[in-house]
Amino acid sequence: MHLNKLFFITSVLCFCSCDQLKDTPLPADDLNKTSGAAVQEEPKELEKPNQTKDLIKDDEPANTSDIIATPLPLPPPPKEPEPKPIQPEFSEELLKAVNNWRSIPRSVFPLSSVTIKDTVEFIAKSATGEIVARAIKQPGEEVVALGLGGQELILSINKSGKMRGKISIGQTDFKQGVAYLFELRKQQRADYERKKSELAEMKESQLASSSNVAKTGSSTSNEEPSLFEDLPVPGDFGHGKFCICKDCREKRLAATGSMK
């Protein structure tokens, strides 16, 4: 009887101990181990194909030789430098030719487009010396120089005018005009000598008949009178009235028809 009671009490105590163990929380480490073992690993997401690469591959032509190369635009041609003004100088050669402005060659006159810097009165006289006409030109106007008397220029309103006026040479741009003509004449002679030399070289290099030689001689003689043709009068084509640069000389030639 006592054994039965002891067995019953022991069973009750064991049952109570098990219930207490169920209610006691497990440590963190044991919980993680338990949950990790219980939770199954999620399946990895399948890799998606690289659509960008597939698109690039699909867009590529089957044959690279079929690719048409687009030509690059050509660079603009370099701009030519703007011509610089070239003003005639009072060189030693020029001063010697005009005897330091005391003796101007007659071939210079009449010289058009002379600008006066002072007021000039022009008069015309009859055979008896009576004044029959009178005119006034203001500073900045252009007249024609007919000659030089001492240090005064003899002027006319135009080449065919009958009225005359006088002004000091220093009150005009006459000297610049003479220097302009002098430099143009030098260039003209240099061009003539160059052409003459080229013709001579052509003549020596060819085995021409006498008729061809005669023709060559006639062409040479036709070049000579070019030295005596009128030079273009001064005029401002962008670089000043007396500029002798190539650009201004070509524009004067086109405007006047005279030689450069």
Give the residue from 140, 147, 141 showing the smallest Cα distance to 110. 147
pLDDT score of 232 more than 70: yes
Is the bond preceding 225 in cis, omega lying within 30 degrees of 0?
A: no
pLDDT score of 135 more than 70: yes
Give the confidence band of 165 by pLDDT, cuts at 50, 70, 90.
very high
Mean pLDDT of 42-54: 53
Span 4-21, pLDDT tens digits: 666 666 665 655 555 554
Span 186-226, pLDDT tens digits: 887 877 788 888 888 788 777 665 555 445 444 444 444 33
| Domains of the chain and any CATH numbers | 92-174 (2.30.30), 176-256 (no CATH)
Residue 230, CA distances (Å) to 94, 227, 256 in order: 19, 9, 10
Distance CA 199, CA 183 (A): 24
Tokens of 126: 């009859």
Q: Who contacts 231 (Cβ-Cβ below 8 Å, separation ≥6)?
A: 181, 184, 185, 188, 258, 259
> Sign (positive/negative) of CA torsion 60, 62, 65, 68?
negative
